[in-house]
Structure 1
Amino acid sequence: MEVEISVEAKKKRLNNAVAMTVVLLSVFMGVSKIKDDNIVQAMQLAKADAVDFWAEYQSNKVKLHLAESNLNQTRLLAQSLPGNAKVMAAEEARLARDVEKYTARSVAIQKQAKASEAEYDRLNFHDDQFDMSDAALSIALAMAAVAALVENWLLLLASWGFGAFGVLFGLAGFAGWAIHPGWLVALLS
């Protein structure tokens, strides 16, 4: 009879450990998912901004090219039609201002586009951390469930290892730590 109680007590301890593991990892995973979703939304906005800025940059560069071409044509016409010097000088001045304006705008827009791309990359770094956390925690939860079914403490310990890995990367994502398994991300990308 004492043997049965001790076996029952061992099962209860294992089941309690599994239950606590599942609760703690699930709560952490849920909170991490909220943060990860917010990061993904910010990434989408940064990417949309970058695309918009690059489109504006291209448009501005086309306008610059047209202004430069028109300026060159106006200069050529001014040489061949010296009687219209005042009109041609005014047009040259206007086109020269356009060239300066579009040149300055191109530089500013390019900086904005690159800043949006840099923001996307910064956010993607943290998104990768939350992705690693989510994957490790999912594996940990599955292993914990199987550990309860087969009544195996070793499997539960392995689950805790994956859980620790997942919590580490989740905390890194929250805290902005520079922990990033680049090789693993590259492998899974």
Structure 2
Amino acid sequence: MEINPLDAVDATETGPALDRAASRLNMLVAITVAILATFMGICKVKDDNIVQTMQQAQANKLDHWAFYQARNIREEIARATIVQLQLAAPGQSAAQQPAYATAIASYEKIAAEQKKKKDELRTLADDDQKQYDGANFHDDQFDLSDALLAIAISLLAVTALTQQRWLYVAALVPTGFGLAMGLAGLLGGSLHPTALIRLLS
């Protein structure tokens, strides 16, 4: 025995009235799905660009920290050389003292330059991390929007199959939240359910 999904519809609606109601509901479902699919496509383009920004920020951060370590090693070598020269200088003749003083001053200058450049690289790496975190914030919004709209489309598919109006209304709940998160991502909004994102990450 085959089950007819239309059997679940209110028995008071029969014939042409039932057909019109089902047709209207199907039209609403189709329009809603089309709007959601278009919106998800737009969000996907923006989200892909954000992911590229995150990848670039991460690569820049790694490069800056690598250069930071190189500058740090150079600074430490310069400072170790200064200590060696300072320890050796007292045992040298008066004629050699100016040469040691010049060498010490030269290495002190190198150490100071390396420290300055090292600090600049630390600042750049911190800026890269902030850029990554900012992009990740919006990436989370798009991820949540995508999940919510996928749930909504699933509910709409069941609505079209069963012709249950209450399912259409239920589908509007994740639709609303999904659209809100997507718009927040597109417009750079601060809407971000941190606890939920943490649970899903």
TMscore range, shorter length: over 0.9
- The answer for the alignment partner of 1:34 in structure 2 is 45
- The answer for the alignment partner of 2:144 in structure 1 is 132
* 85-94 or 20-29, larger mean C-alpha shift: 85-94
1:6-17 to 2 correspondence within 5 Å?
A: 6-17=17-28
Equivalent residue of 1:154, what SS?
A: helix
Deviation per CA, 1:114-147: give whole Å up to 9, x if none. Answer: 0010010011111111111111111111110111
Q: Distance in 1 between matches of 2:154 and 2:92?
A: 84
Q: Distance in 2 between matches of 1:90 and 1:105?
A: 23
Runs of at least 5 residues in structure 1 that lack an aligned partner in the other structure: none
- Cα drift, residue 186 of structure 1: 0.2
Bigger helix fraction:
1
TM normalised by structure 1 equals 0.96
Q: Distance in 2 between matches of 1:150 and 1:54?
A: 58
TM normalised by structure 2 equals 0.91
- The answer for the alignment partner of 2:16 in structure 1 is 5
Q: Distance in 2 between matches of 1:53 and 1:80?
A: 42
- The answer for the alignment partner of 1:156 in structure 2 is 168
- Cα drift, residue 82 of structure 1: 3.3
Number of residue-to-residue matches in the alignment = 188
- The answer for the alignment partner of 1:63 in structure 2 is 74
Q: Distance in 1 between matches of 2:83 and 2:97?
A: 15
1:22 aligns with 2:33: yes
The AA in structure 1 aligned to 2:144 is M
- The answer for the alignment partner of 1:166 in structure 2 is 178
Deviation per CA, 1:134-161: give whole Å up to 9, x if none. Answer: 1111111111011111111111111111
Q: Distance in 2 between matches of 1:48 and 1:143?
A: 40
- The answer for the alignment partner of 2:5 in structure 1 is none
The AA in structure 1 aligned to 2:145 is S
Q: Distance in 2 between matches of 1:180 and 1:73?
A: 56
Q: Distance in 2 between matches of 1:152 and 1:3?
A: 15
Superposition RMSD in Å:
1.1
The AA in structure 1 aligned to 2:39 is F
1:54 aligns with 2:65: yes
The AA in structure 2 aligned to 1:155 is L
**Rg comparison, structure with higher value:** 2
| Pairing partner for 2:92 from 61, 76, 81 | 81
- The answer for the alignment partner of 2:200 in structure 1 is 188
